[in-house]
Structure 1
């Protein structure tokens, strides 16, 4: 592939696995910088080592251990994710090809994202969690040469993502401080910081990993 055809944001296959280009350095020997989508492992290579891919409706991919199906026939949801495949940003917006963005709110023309971008419906595919029965999995270019170790790695990534999802604090969760016996509800989450009903603000990792805190109620559970 000619170097002039490679640009930031493109989905490409490298060593049979799906990657996304995040930078192109024309004067460098390994001119293309990218990351593997399933786990964000970074790679660099020459343009001729790549195979271009354009994501489409009903494609399924793994992002950081979580599998999604790309859909154009369903509406976005607040708190969900979109993949911007046909970017046409206004002067006030800052997004480009194949960016993953989280939906903050729904608006008439499309969505408003947590990165303060207004993205129109024609510009994105909705990332629906899970894999549809009719979906086309695109994590590998040629599934016939995928190794057992790669499949095991994928399973491990999915299991780790599920554990993190369960452990991650959510608004409405109730924790008990084992040092003083006080119970506190999560009332807000700002980036990696959690605001508790007691007025305390702690890091998410502190709630999950500290011996001082214990989860006693998870939002969505019927009982303590």
Structure 2
């Protein structure tokens, strides 16, 4: 049984047409899963469906063997999901540390050890813990967003375009931190426009086209596939 098994997902927004057309996304415990594909392929919609922000018309979502298809996003957080949306993912008027504290809103235990772990992962945030998050650079904001999601102590961390708008150097640093997070046993699923770089760190990769699986394989297999390289990776 896959740790995450989102199978045969079909759905769209409101009464509109289906955006997901049978997409299936599975990731094993501690793996890094990456979803890539052209604009409008349904990548972010798939993430929203897995997190419960989009009701599926068909299909199911299982986490560690438990069927969570009918659960709300908040209930999915309680089950072990953490989600970092592409935009509006921090509280800009709050300090870095207040953002992290907000991430632990469901917890009743001592959150200080987890805050310390986040600062170990992202040392710059420790230096800026008293600074309003809105004053940080784009890359630092993304670190706050990921750190806030880690405060829930997720078993599955979902990242929607984590490197959008950041420099190549910051992108490499974020990918290094994502690898570190996965090494702790947390399963990662992310949507990423920088497909080539994301597939380099992916244990499993999915190329979506029009809401359906076009190609599936390890990151290395997809990088080596001539058709994937030509169509989606720029040759």
Q: Give the TM-score, by structure 2 length.
A: 0.22
Say which structure, 1 or 2, has more relative contact order (CA 8 Å, 6+ apart).
2
* TM-score, normalisation: structure 1: 0.23
Larger Rg: 1
Name the structure where strand makes up a greater proportion of residues. 1
Structure number with higher helix proportion? 2
